């Protein structure tokens, strides 16, 4: 059930006795804007570190330890045209504890304290905390370079999109970080609290009325709901952009990005899920079977759909000298899909795998909330049973049609070879 606390502030309570814990999530959402992305990432680290009442990390973490090791953290993500700051907390259901304690209400009080009484003096965040977290975030940007597959993915995203907001990683950039001050960040935080859309989710053995009352006490005022669609559909360049970068790596990364023009739960969505499963999503897929199993060229070669930006990416880890062979095999697999060279048995298998995946996600509190949130953003109410039915109804022709509307727009090759 969803209840509006204020305009733009909603609570969704999902009572269940399945878990030994209660999971609380607050999602703050705003249209993606490069000038705010880095501020939001920095806020997520600052708010996690300390607050006015818990003015050191030790005090904050001790409070959580005393709440029977409650998990607490903030993170930033983006989806289509939106950026989200997520605050998450998991507390143990009191009935499994020997002691008689009110862990849930104490946890909610803790969240309120953290969000509304941050470590601020004279209109700016505590300078020492601010400087430390700013430095740590700068170090984190540096460390992404050390994770080669993550680096390759971000590079591919930069090539694929023309829009600066879409090119920017969800955690922001170093250049934007340099401009932020303790005062400007606090000012932005006030804006976020006043203007972001807020969705609160509570999942566990709880009473809906109690939770609604508990969160009514959070001083959120009414705010406007952004009207724009969450889908990013702007057409970008039409030529293939290819980039090669040389670094001292043992294994090369060859990543490809395709435009699909398929969006979350639109009429093509279900066929596209099966197309992706057959092409590179599962261990029985064409990429896995041909790049890995037949030719022994890679340990991984897989594809992923981004149905909020109408894109599909392929990731591979390969020997530098084999890149042309790998490129040809990948292209050939797409042609095979376009020509309908896949069996009915493989289609059925993919359908079974997808249905299994969706049912399995219902065993994970985080995934259940994420799905509800996504459906709410796109205004869909598709149940699991309806999803299964839609998947069952997909025909071979529809899958072939998807394969024919997919086209390559960018490739990024990270290689250890110097003479490229």
Asked whether 279 and 214 are in contact (CB, 8 A), the reply is no
Residue 17 vs 239, nearer CB to other proteins = 17
Query: Closest approach of Cβ 202 to other proteins, in Å?
Result: 15
The nearest distance, CB 252 to other proteins, in angstroms, is 9
- Comparing CB distances to other proteins, the nearer of 4 and 364 is 364
Q: Are strands 21-31 and 124-125 parallel, antiparallel or unpaired?
A: unpaired
Work out how close the CB of 20 gets to other proteins at its nearest, in angstroms, rounded to a whole number: 5
Residue with smaller CB distance to other proteins, 227 or 248: 248
DSSP state of 293: I
SS3 per-residue string spanning 173-209: CHHHHHCCCHHHHHHHHHHHHHHCEEEEEEEECCCHH
Cα(293)–Cα(288) distance, integer angstroms = 6
- Dist. CA 410–CA 412, nearest whole Å: 7
Question: How is residue 55 written in tokens?
Answer: 């003015």
- In the bound state with other proteins, the residue whose beta carbon lies nearer, of 81 and 119, is 119
Pick between residue 109 and residue 295 the one whose CB is nearest to other proteins. Answer: 295
**Strands of 21-31's sheet in order across:** 2-6, 9-15, 197-204, 21-31, 82-92, 71-79
Phi-psi region of 123 (alpha: psi -120 to 50; beta: other; left: phi over 0): left
Name the minimum Å distance from CB 195 to other proteins: 29
State in angstroms the smallest separation of the CB of 40 from other proteins: 17
Using the minimum distance from each CB to other proteins, give the nearer residue, 160 or 270.
270
31 in Cβ contact with 82 (< 8 Å): yes
- The nearest distance, CB 296 to other proteins, in angstroms, is 3
Residue 132 tokens read as 């430390």
In the chain, the N- to C-terminal Cα span, in Å, equals 58
Q: Residue 388, SS3?
A: helix
CB of 187 to other proteins, least distance (A): 25
Minimum CB distance to other proteins smaller for 114 or for 297: 297
């Amino acid at each position: 059930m969803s209840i509006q606390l204020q305009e733009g502030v909603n609570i969704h309570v999902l009572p269940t006795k399945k878990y030994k814990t209660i999971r609380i999530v607050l999602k703050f959402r705003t249209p993606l804007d490069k000038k705010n992305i880095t501020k939001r990432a920095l806020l997520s680290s600052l708010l996690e570190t300390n607050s006015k009442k818990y003015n050191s990390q030790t005090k904050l973490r001790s409070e959580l330890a005393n709440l029977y090791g409650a998990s607490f953290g903030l993170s930033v993500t983006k989806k289509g045209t939106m950026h989200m700051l997520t605050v998450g907390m998991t507390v143990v259901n009191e009935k499994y504890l020997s002691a008689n304690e009110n862990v849930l209400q104490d946890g909610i009080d803790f969240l309120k304290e953290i969000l509304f009484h941050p470590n601020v003096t004279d209109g700016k965040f505590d300078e020492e905390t601010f400087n430390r977290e700013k430095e740590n975030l700068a170090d984190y940007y540096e460390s992404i370079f050390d994770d080669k597959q993550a680096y390759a993915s971000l590079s591919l995203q930069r090539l694929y999109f023309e829009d600066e907001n879409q090119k920017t990683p969800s955690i922001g950039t170093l250049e934007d970080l340099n401009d932020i001050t303790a005062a400007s960040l606090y000012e932005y935080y006030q804006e976020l609290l006043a203007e972001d859309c807020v969705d609160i989710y509570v999942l566990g053995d709880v009473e809906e009325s109690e939770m609604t009352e508990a969160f009514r006490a959070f001083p959120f005022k009414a705010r406007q709901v952004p009207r724009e669609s969450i889908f990013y559909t702007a057409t970008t360049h039409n030529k293939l952009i290819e980039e090669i970068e040389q670094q001292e790596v043992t294994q090369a990364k060859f990543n490809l990005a395709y435009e699909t023009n398929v969006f979350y739960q639109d009429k093509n969505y279900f066929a596209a899920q099966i197309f992706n499963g057959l092409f590179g999503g599962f261990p029985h897929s064409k990429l896995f079977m041909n790049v890995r199993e037949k030719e022994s060229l890679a340990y991984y070669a897989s594809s992923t759909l981004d149905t909020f930006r109408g894109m599909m990416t392929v990731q591979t880890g390969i020997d530098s000298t084999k890149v042309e062979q790998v490129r040809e095999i990948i292209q050939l697999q797409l042609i095979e899909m376009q020509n309908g060279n896949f069996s009915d048995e493989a289609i059925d298998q993919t359908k079974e795998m997808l249905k299994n995946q969706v049912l399995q996600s219902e065993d994970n509190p985080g995934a259940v909330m994420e799905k509800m949130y996504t459906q709410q953003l796109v205004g869909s109410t598709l149940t699991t049973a309806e999803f299964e039915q839609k998947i069952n109804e997909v025909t071979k022709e529809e899958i072939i049609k998807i394969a024919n509307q997919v086209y390559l727009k960018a490739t990024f090759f990270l290689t250890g070879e110097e003479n490229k």
